[in-house]
Amino acid sequence: MSTIDVTIIETPNLGDRSYVVALDGTAVVIDPQRDIDRVQAVLEAQGLTVTHVLETHIHNDYVSGGLVLAGQLGAEYIVPAGYALAYEATQLSDGASFTSGRMSWRVVHTPGHTPQHLSYAVAVDGVDEAVFTGGSMLFGSVGRPDLLGPDLTLGLAHDQWRSVRRLVDEVAGDAAVYPTHGFGSFCSVTATVGLESTVAQQRTTNPALTLSEQEFVDELVAGLDAYPAYYAHMGPSNQAGPGPVDLSLPGPADAAELRRRIDAGEWVVDLRARKLFARGHLRGTLSFDGEGNAITYLGWLIPWGTPVTLLGESEQQVQAFQRDLVQIGIDRPAAHATGSPTEWALDAERDVLAFPQTDFEGLAKAQADDPELLVLDTRRNLEWHDGHVRGARHLPIHELIGRIDEVVAWSRAAEHAGHDATVWVYCGSGFRAAAVCSLLERVGVPVVHVDDDWGNAALKGAAVVSEERPDETHRFGAAVTA
């Protein structure tokens, strides 16, 4: 029976968790996100006094709220040793320890996800209660070792195997495991298994504990695929010291301002459901369905520093996405508007556009009628190799901005040859395809949005083919899809 109380604060769009660990009114916060008001609400509701704010590592997938939170609470801010920081913090190394009320904490160096990575084990009255593993030991998986570049990947993969084994050797088997990553995060190698676990349970489910070192490393590296481009900005931001955020609504934009921003090349992002976008949207706007993983893909695609204006059906929809934006370091949208496309247009007849939507059955019928149909698969490499529509071209969504001219040329070549210039776009669920359709439409390519789950493709008559991966012994499972 656990003595400590652990409150989990989910950030599902990034696939991460933060934690508030409490006992007898005293608490420790681990890996807080930038929007610290969610942590503060937990502390106030439970009447807790925070002694320490901990970081397992300098995060690559989000901007941390730890520095600001610790400062506001008067708590000690602890980060791993070995980082050059632009602010004052306590940097701890392997074997260090500290107390928070009756809780005894010890620091375990667990390199792999990053070289400096720490895990934190907590005991009460000499009994291990839990271990907070950050991006080291996840539920049936591990944090990816390639975020700091290819030169470090192999060495960190070996480190990851050793780190997980060290954790299960040094932490009691009954102790609960609380990772930061692994719930859809691109920081994990694959989707994790389950929502809770213990150290003992990981012995039978985690590849680092069931495979030999070389088998583990080979399969870990074989399972790596692309990760969001915005990750490049997260580590430097966290080392520089992120400041507080303003989550108040940005200024309103009228139809004239929206048109000016679109024509200037800024990103005006429509957060409405992708089906609504397809039926009618403001010319030049981009579809990032707020019900999907919009923040990851917007952050992945946008040229960094481009002003963002948000369109939504309501202020609540806009402000919910503002919260997502600050978590990846886009602190303030340029403007916002709510309502509908006809309200956002200077000339609704000219500026409110639509494009067709279909499913894989519609795509299959169209291909049967026209073998020259232009079909674009926007999924990532591992998804493509596992199976794709025969005749499709592959362009992962994260490569689209740099290669969009190829799609324009492909469409125009078909038109010049007397074929249909329309590009039919699909992905794993319809979400990514919607964003791609909006980006292609913005540069003049006619599109059809295949809004369907990939699992339906063969069932609905599409001709699905697959290609062998470089290593078909890969056992880590399918990569995260959205």
Residue 449 lies in a domain: yes
Domain shared by 16 and 89, yes or no: yes
Could you tell me if residue 342 is inside a domain?
yes
Q: What CATH number corresponds to the domain at position 396?
A: 3.40.250.10
The string of pLDDT tens digits covering residues 204-236 is: 999 999 999 999 999 999 989 899 999 999 999
482 part of a folded domain: no
In a shared domain, residues 135 and 217: yes
Tell me if 421 sits within 8 A of 412, measured CB to CB: yes
**pLDDT bucket at 182, cuts 50 / 70 / 90:** confident
CATH number of 58's domain: 3.60.15.10
52: closest CA among 75, 71, 69, 74?
Answer: 75
476 within some domain? no
67 and 187 in a common domain: yes
37 and 142 in a single domain? The answer is yes
Within this chain, do residues 73 and 216 fall inside the same structural domain, yes or no?
A: yes
Regarding whether 340 and 265 lie in a shared domain, the answer is yes
Confidence tier at 433 by pLDDT (50, 70, 90): very high
Is 320 a domain residue?
Answer: yes
- Closest alpha carbon to 446 in 415, 422, 417: 422
Domain span at 458? 357-465
471: pLDDT strictly greater than 70: no
Angle at 309 between CA 306 and CA 313, to 5 degrees: 150
pTM, two decimal places: 0.92
Note whether 291 and 208 are same-domain residues.
Answer: no
How many domains would you assign to the chain?
3
pLDDT in tens, 387-426: 999 999 999 999 999 999 999 999 999 999 999 999 999 9
3-state secondary structure of 297: helix
Q: Is residue 149 part of a domain?
A: yes
Do 55 and 179 lie in one domain? The reply is yes
Kindly tell me the burial class for residue 291, based on how many C-beta atoms sit within 10 Å of its own C-beta (0-12, 13-18, 19 or more): exposed
Tokens of 68: 């600001």
- pLDDT given for residue 1 in this prediction: 53
246 belongs to a structural domain: no
Residues 324 and 190 in one domain: no
Whether pLDDT at 478 is above 90: no
In a domain, 480, yes or no: no
Same domain, 142 and 126: yes
> What's the confidence (pLDDT) of residue 223?
87
